[in-house]
Structure 1
Amino acid sequence: MLQAAIILIDLLFISLLTFGLYFPRHRRRDLVVAYLVVNVGVLAVAQVLASSTVGVGLGLGLFGVLSIIRLRSSEIEQHEVAYYFAALAMGLLAGLSTEPTVLTVVLMALILAVVYFGDSPRLFRSYRQQTVVLDAAFADESALIAHLEGLLGARVHGVHVRSLDLVNDTTLVDVRYQVSAARSAAALPDSAGTAGTAVLQESGR
């Protein structure tokens, strides 16, 4: 009966994490089933381990093994990895608890609260990150930053040149920047409006 209660508590928290936070914010359906299965799977295995002689030690070993798993079939963003670990941690907390305790519930609620605030679209909403291909080779960092600020219409806080092709006259750069308050609430357009310049990837809000 007590085990059934902790299972129901875990299902409540993983439902809030998946259907209350992740999907409404990011709308990626394939990861919904991943988070649910990871959580319930870890819960089931940890429940069995908690009732055996191997107990917590093997349970923590399981957490360590699962923590290095990387799904190679598709790209996973860092915020999606955070949801993945949240689902895993809540399943492990519930699975290793033989009965529902205040500490277990508080820790699971704490994980949910951290994800809620840490992944809030209102947190650092004016800061963005993009990987950009430029149709010119910029060997000088100051010239590169000035060009990017004019291109993006934003203040550049950091650049990392991934590739500098002097033969084909291109630069592949990872740029961290801050848009103005008027633009921070709106998504950036697919094109920056400059011929020959393509934005490949954007993350951040």
Structure 2
Amino acid sequence: MPRIAIYAFDLAAVTLLVFGLYFPRHRRRDLVVAYLGVNVGVLAVAGLLSSSTVGAGLGLGLFGVLSIIRLRSTELDQHEVAYYFSALALGILGPLGEDPAWLSPALMGLILAVMYVGDHPRLLRHYRRQVMVLDTAVIDQLALVVQLERILGARVHSASVERVDLVNDTTTVEVRYSLDPKRALARQTELVGVRQ
């Protein structure tokens, strides 16, 4: 397959990844530039290395260095890390995977399909993670879970205490929970009754 066709596949794939999947779902503009820039940069470097005697080893080393530098520069959520590595992988797949000709486009399609399904809003949509600061110092784990379930109107799967401040009477907790429509409705009814 001509090299220009592989580059076209990569550019189409990263455009679909960024503008078809990532941005409509997460709306973080600064990462659009990062994903596009890193993809095209890796594509260019991998294209140059694949035609030289340096080999793929240096290209894969560059892949690792780029990812370490980028991931240490700002805090990213896990889904953003997945998109970041997908953009990197798309950029390196094209130039370094030329034989057989169908393999690179097929792997690019596989990456896009996995990201589409794995980050789909309907997949595990009732499950949430949140860091909360409670206005009481709670040390007992069972009491903490009961209080969180009452506040959230949800089923708490795990509650990891990050900080208990006995002076200011607060508890900072990371909670993983799933929404229960019946509990949520009961909680909304309770809140409406309190406001009236």
- Matches of 2:9 and 2:144, distance apart in 1: 52
What is the aligned partner in structure 2 of residue 157 from structure 1? Answer: 157
2:129 partner SS = strand
Is the 1:135–1:169 contact (alpha carbons within 8 Å) kept by the matching residues of 2? yes
What is the aligned partner in structure 2 of residue 16 from structure 1? Answer: 16
Structure 1 residue 3, shift from structure 2 partner:
1.2
Is the 1:5–1:100 contact (alpha carbons within 8 Å) kept by the matching residues of 2? no
- Cα separation, partners in 2 of 1:116 and 1:164, compared to 1, 3 Å: same
TM-score scaled by structure 1? 0.84
Structure 1 residue 29, shift from structure 2 partner:
1.2
Counterparts of 1:1-205 in structure 2, within 5 Å, are: 2-71=2-71, 74-98=74-98, 101-181=101-181
Q: Deviations over 1:2-34 (max 9, x none)?
A: 111110010010011011111111111111111
Structure 1 residue 168, shift from structure 2 partner:
1.3
- Matches of 1:132 and 1:21, distance apart in 2: 29
**Contiguous gaps of at least 5 residues in structure 1:** 194-205
Structure with a larger share of its residues in helix = 2
> How many corresponding residue pairs?
186
- Matches of 2:18 and 2:112, distance apart in 1: 10
Could you say what the CA RMSD is over the residues aligned between the two structures, in angstroms? 2.1
Is the 1:6–1:99 contact (alpha carbons within 8 Å) kept by the matching residues of 2? no
- Matches of 2:148 and 2:28, distance apart in 1: 30
- Cα separation, partners in 2 of 1:96 and 1:120, compared to 1, 3 Å: same
1:15 partner SS = helix
Tell me the amino acid that sits aligned with residue 122 of structure 2: R
Q: Deviations over 1:185-205 (max 9, x none)?
A: xxxx9xxx6xxxxxxxxxxxx
Structure 1 residue 183, shift from structure 2 partner:
8.9
Deviates more, 1:95-104 or 1:141-150: 95-104
- Matches of 1:33 and 1:158, distance apart in 2: 36
**Contiguous gaps of at least 5 residues in structure 2:** 192-196
Pick the structure with greater CA Rg.
Answer: 2
Could you tell me the percent identity over the aligned residues?
A: 64
TM-score scaled by structure 2? 0.88
- Matches of 1:182 and 1:86, distance apart in 2: 38
Q: Deviations over 1:39-91 (max 9, x none)?
A: 00000000111111111111111122123234566532111111000000010
- Cα separation, partners in 2 of 1:150 and 1:110, compared to 1, 3 Å: same
2:163 partner SS = strand
Is the 1:45–1:95 contact (alpha carbons within 8 Å) kept by the matching residues of 2? no
Is the 1:42–1:91 contact (alpha carbons within 8 Å) kept by the matching residues of 2? yes
- Cα separation, partners in 2 of 1:154 and 1:71, compared to 1, 3 Å: same
- Matches of 1:182 and 1:47, distance apart in 2: 55
Over 2 Å off, 4+ runs: 69-75, 97-100, 181-184
